[in-house]
Amino acid sequence: MRTDHFIRFEHVDSVEEAEHGLLARLHGELLRIDAVRPDVVRLQLSRGGSFDPKPTYAVCVDPIAPDPDEPVAWRAERVDSDGEGAWRLVTDELVVTLWLDPFRVDVHRTDGSVVVESVPDSEGRYWTYATLNDAWTTRRRIGRDDAIYGLGEKGGHHNRRGRDFTMWNTDVLNEHATAEFRAGLDPDDPRSDMSSTEFDPYYVTIPFFYQRDATSGAAAGSFVDNGYRGEYEFSRDDEYRVTFHGGQWTEYVFAGPSMASILERYTWLTGRASLPPIWALGYHQCRWHAYSQADVERNAKRYRDDEFPCDGMWLDIDYMDGYRVFTWDSSRFPDPAGMLKGLSNQGFRTISIVDPGVKHDPGYSVYDDGLEQDVFCRTEGGDTYIGQVWPGNTAFPDFATPEARSWWGALNAKHVESGLAGIWNDMNEPATGEIAPQAMLFDKGRAKHERYHNQYALLMAMGTIEGLRAARPEARTFILSRAGSAGIQRYAANWMGDNQARWDHLWVSMPMACGFGLSGQPFVGADIGGFQGDTNPELFLRWMQMGALTPFCRNHSEINNIDQYPWSFGSEIHDLAREAVRLRYRLMPYIYSAFVRATETGEPVQRPLVLDHQDDPAVVDLDDQYLFGRDLLVAPVTEQGQTSRTVYLPAGDWYDWHTGEVHPGGQRITVETPLERIPLFARAGSTIPMWAEAPASTDGYRPESIELHVFDPLVDGRWESVLVEDDGLTVAAEGGDADEPARLTTTVVVERTDGEVSVEHSTAGPGYAGHARTRFDVVHHAAA
């Protein structure tokens, strides 16, 4: 990042106390420092003397509105320190110091530990804020061994330290979209290869990260509410740099010190995932292939004949008439409604792809209506912007306007009338093929492309969900999106895009999913088996075993690849893959309860060990295993021919899921990895709720009993686990206007005192329509 011509802000002219904190004047601009929560502060610097009240669509609350449940007590004071004038904003948990000359902003916790601290350059000058032609930059102190996490979807290791990142949603395998990021790189540099696990940028960019102090283990957080292209530079020893190429400096700083508390605050600001329909948590079959109606029905029948659990059948782009969105190819699909009804009767939900690109085709009703309604993006000269994707020349809806979002929502509502259960949003970076996107303007031509590029997928999802909710107000929605930005979790799940059928892509899906989870998106997964290239039996099986223990579980591959259905590699692979998916279905009560927790607290379903064991130096760089929910530890096989692997067990005691052997935490152990399983451990003291058997699908499955697998603790203490039951389909479980959500919440408490273990449970809630469980069956797992 070159900033040698940037103009630094160096002196504060005046400071006064404002309604929510401090207001300063400097270099003709205004600086606001607002106390948002006792542990959260907002920093804002004006452009042209005014503030942008809504920099992006990420923040979904009024951050400075009074909260009667958590009032923010603060005070402002003028201080002099070592002859330097300063003002302080003090809350119960943090102290913000605004230094006047030279200008800088530091944030500390009330115990004096650092949250954010300005750093001088080699000439003693501070770069708290510098600007050039709408771009702005800042530099801050970082410890030599501090770790960095977050930033949404990024390749490489989970700890982002030592690398630089670009925040620009990119169609990763498009040579035109990625050319500028590969230009000038040495051919041996992995970032020069679009398919490398180190390539950057990816489809989803979220300017939110954690800094973990290497000495204390304390974490601080930063979220820049800015949709423009940005850069984060974490490759220097003693400072990090942040640059955005437009927009205002609007930043939320989180004092932590726990990563979990930072994530809770961040998802309070940007929203949390809605309750997913339970079928969305099942196993899904997808392939880019020119299927016919008979092909889809044949695949569905094979799953049922094989007794292989499956909830979702997906349709990629070839179901459409010439890639025209919201159409069906009548020669391949003569009776879509009949097909969808037949699949539904067998317990399958069907999801179709919908790209934002509308074919430039006078006479095509969607294109003609879009022109008439004036909902397409324009160019500076007033033309309809034209890009190039699957249909050829395409127009793009101007999702920055509510009119375009409503128009798009109505199209989706009509589309699902055929019987579709959900919508798959692809190519929404937005991908424009060979044609550069910069001429695509938004807000009826008033906003340049860069303002909304990174937000395009979020805005598309907003329009899509508007239509789905209007069409089916009582039903939970399901949208899967390739691209996204801060707040996407409110509307859609994400998958990791066009990955490769390679072992390194199996591995990278772990740190990538954990990066999503720490960035507020709990519903995420990778294409099982790999999308691009031919998989092989061993890789496919190992990916199925891991994918069955991730939030989103979908088998997906590219056209012209070898088949990678579960039955494509012989009976042994088929049966072992089926066992992996059956385990997922048996764990459905546990998985669903983890998703409920995510909707309430922002806590991710798939998460790095450092989130729960922040003070353990051994997990700082650990990214080849993860926690699935709070109490299951998954250690996938990531190499061909691997017959054993090392697993790190964090604090506590851990039961080997397969053998029942108990291992104390805080150590590395070697675990056998025969073809039939990957290492899986349950936390001692936990209770894992499970179905006694794996159904063919979740559709209509209402068992009379749920198993409570209790794993005896080995030391005295108290452990609490939660099971949530509801109808899995309607919004009644979210409460709405009802006094209580239509659900049952069972809390299981396992307590060990003087070597004796007791198990108690209590169930609360009004219940729900269709509840059929009459009992719990306790399954006891003991160390001896």
Catalytic residue numbers read 426, 429, 498
User: CB of 310 within 8 A of CB of 280?
Assistant: no
Calculate helix-pair angle for 537-547, 503-518, nearest 10 degrees.
20
CB of 730 closer than 8 Å to CB of 477: no
CB contact at 8 A, 615 and 721: no
Rounded Cα distance between 206 and 263, Å, is 13
**Parallel/antiparallel/unpaired status of strands 680-683 and 358-359:** unpaired
C-alpha 286/C-alpha 195 separation (Å) is 21
Structure-block tokens of residue 84: 């330097």
Token reading at 143: 């410890």
Q: Residue 461 in 3-state DSSP?
A: helix
Residues 6 or more apart whose CB falls under 8 angstroms from that of 711 comprise: 655, 682, 683, 684, 685, 686, 687, 688, 781
* Separation CA 394–CA 387 (nearest Å): 5
- Tell me which amino acid residue 47 is: R
**CA pair distance 48, 30, nearest whole angstrom:** 9
Tell me if 365 sits within 8 A of 371, measured CB to CB: no
The DSSP element (H or E) to which 729 belongs, if any, is: none
Count other C-beta atoms under 10 Å from residue 583's C-beta.
18
Nearest of 567, 566, 601, 775 to residue 689 by alpha carbon: 775
Residue by residue, what is the 3-state secondary structure of 151-214?
EECCCCCCCCCCCEEEECCCCCCCHHHHHHHHCCCCCCCHHHCCCCCCCCCCCEEEEEEEEECC
Rounded to whole angstroms, what are the CA distances from 158 to 102, 154, 626, 651, 692? Answer: 36, 8, 11, 21, 36
Distance CA 349, CA 770 (A): 20
* Token pair of 110 as six digits: 């009330």
Q: What is the CA radius of gyration of the chain?
A: 26
Specify the length of the chain in residues.
784
Contacts of 378 (CB under 8 A, 6+ apart): 384, 385, 398, 441, 444, 445
CA distances to 35, 109, 721 from 38, rounded to whole Å, are 7, 10, 29
Return the axis-axis angle of helices 537-547 and 571-586, rounded to nearest 10°: 10
- Give me the phi and psi of 612, to 5 degrees please: -95, -15
Query: Rounded to an integer, what distance in angstroms lies between the CA atom of residue 512 and that of residue 154?
Result: 6
Taking residue 446's Cβ as centre, other Cβ atoms within 10 Å add up to 11
Contact status, residue 265 vs residue 40, Cβ threshold 8 Å: yes
Edge-to-edge strand list for the sheet holding 103-109: 74-81, 84-91, 94-100, 103-109, 114-116
Give the Cα separation of 476 and 469 in Å (integer).
8
* φ/ψ bin of 363: left (φ > 0), alpha (ψ from -120 to 50), beta (otherwise): left
Q: Which of 673, 688, 681, 714 is nearest to 594 (CA)?
A: 688
- Rounded Cα distance, 526 and 512, in Å: 9
Contact 550, 526 (CB under 8 A): yes
